[in-house]
Amino acid sequence: MKEKLLILGGTEFVGRLLVEALSPDTNKEIFLFNRGKTNPGLFSEITKIIGDRETDDIEKIKSQEWDYVIDFSSFYPASLQRTIDQLNKSVKKYIYISTISVYDFAKYTRGEKITEDFAKVSCSPEEAIDTTMRTYGKKKMACEAVLQKEEWLNSIIIRPSVIYGKHDPTDRFYYWCRKVKMTKEIVIPNQGENNLTLTYADDMVRILLHALNEDLPKGGYNCGTHDPVSFNNMLNWMKESIGSSSQLFGIDRQELRDEKIALPISGLCDLIVDSSKIKIASGLEFSSFENSVKTMMAHFEKEDWPTAKAGISDDEQEELILKFKTKI
C-alpha cells in the first residue's frame, strides 16, 4: 500500500516545488489541504481537501490515517494544536516549516554564529493571536513549542532564512536581480560589504525530501544553504551572468532608515546562520550561492523581467541616488 502524505499548503513557492518533486514518487499518495485560493489549477491529479485550517474545516483531515505530514501553512499556535489533535497517533513524521526569525536577534553579536541553541524570542498570549507580520517570528516560536510538548509526535522543525527561487511570491531576491538588469545604478546598504546567508528553494526541497524519506533525528534545524556572502559578491555574480554594467551606489543603512527606505533582505545583513547540523545529519551538499544566483538570473531572463513587488521602484531609486549625490 502507498504511504499517505498530507501537505498543509503545497501550491505556493517551496510547497509547489516540493509537490512537483514528489509527484514521480509512486510509493506515496499525496493529499493537499488548503483553502484552494492560491494557484487552484495546479496538481489536478492530486487529491485536494479544501478548507481553512483556522476553522472547523481542519477536522476534515481526520478522514485519513496519515503516515507523514508536512506543514507549510501554520502561523498560529492554537491552530497548530488543533491540527495535531486531529491526527492519528501512528503518524511517522510531522515536518514543520518554521523560520530563523524565532531567534532573538537583539542578543546577536556581529560575527557570532546562530546555531540551533541560540536564544529564542518569547510570545505572549496577545502576540500568539496577532494577525500582523510584526509578530511572525514570535508566533512561529510558539508553534515550535506546541510541537515540542507533544512527546509522542516525531516532529522535525526546519528553520530557513529568507528563501529565494522560482515561484517566490515576495520578490525579495528578484528585486535585486531586476535592478541589475534594468537600472544603471543600484542603491545598496552601506558599501555592499555586509554579508547575507539565504536559503535556496531548490536545496530546501532537497532537505525536505531527505527529512521525509530518511532517518533524520527529531528536533530543529537551521537551513541556510550557503556560507555568508556579501551584497557586492551577490550583485557582481548577477551582473556577470547577464553582462550588466550597473554600478553600485552605497548609502549608509541608518540614512536609509531615516529616509524610510527598506531594501529587501538587507535586514539580514551580517547574521551568520550556522547550518552545519542539517548538513552533517543529512549528508547533503548544497548548490554554491554563485551558481544558484546565475541559475535564477537565467530563469528571470526567460520571465522577461516583470516589475518587482518588493522594494522601491526604479524612479524612486533614481530620485534617491540624485538626492544623495547632491549631498556629496
Mean pLDDT score of the chain, rounded to an integer?
Answer: 95
Give Cα separations from 203 to 33, 210, 289, 300 (angstroms). 24, 11, 11, 18
Contacts of 133 (CB under 8 A, 6+ apart): none
Q: Rounded mean pLDDT of 274-292?
A: 96
Q: Tell me: the pLDDT tens digits for 168-180?
A: 999 999 999 999 9
How distant is the alpha carbon of residue 113 from its chain centre? 19
pLDDT given for residue 154 in this prediction: 98
In the chain, what are the domains? 3-159 (3.40.50.720), 172-197+226-270+288-323 (3.90.25.10)
Q: Tell me: the pLDDT tens digits for 237-266?
A: 999 999 999 999 999 999 999 999 999 999
pLDDT given for residue 127 in this prediction: 98
Q: Rounded mean pLDDT of 17-23?
A: 95
Is 80 exceeded by the pLDDT of residue 328?
no
pLDDT given for residue 70 in this prediction: 98
Q: Rounded mean pLDDT of 154-175?
A: 97
pTM (2 d.p.) = 0.95
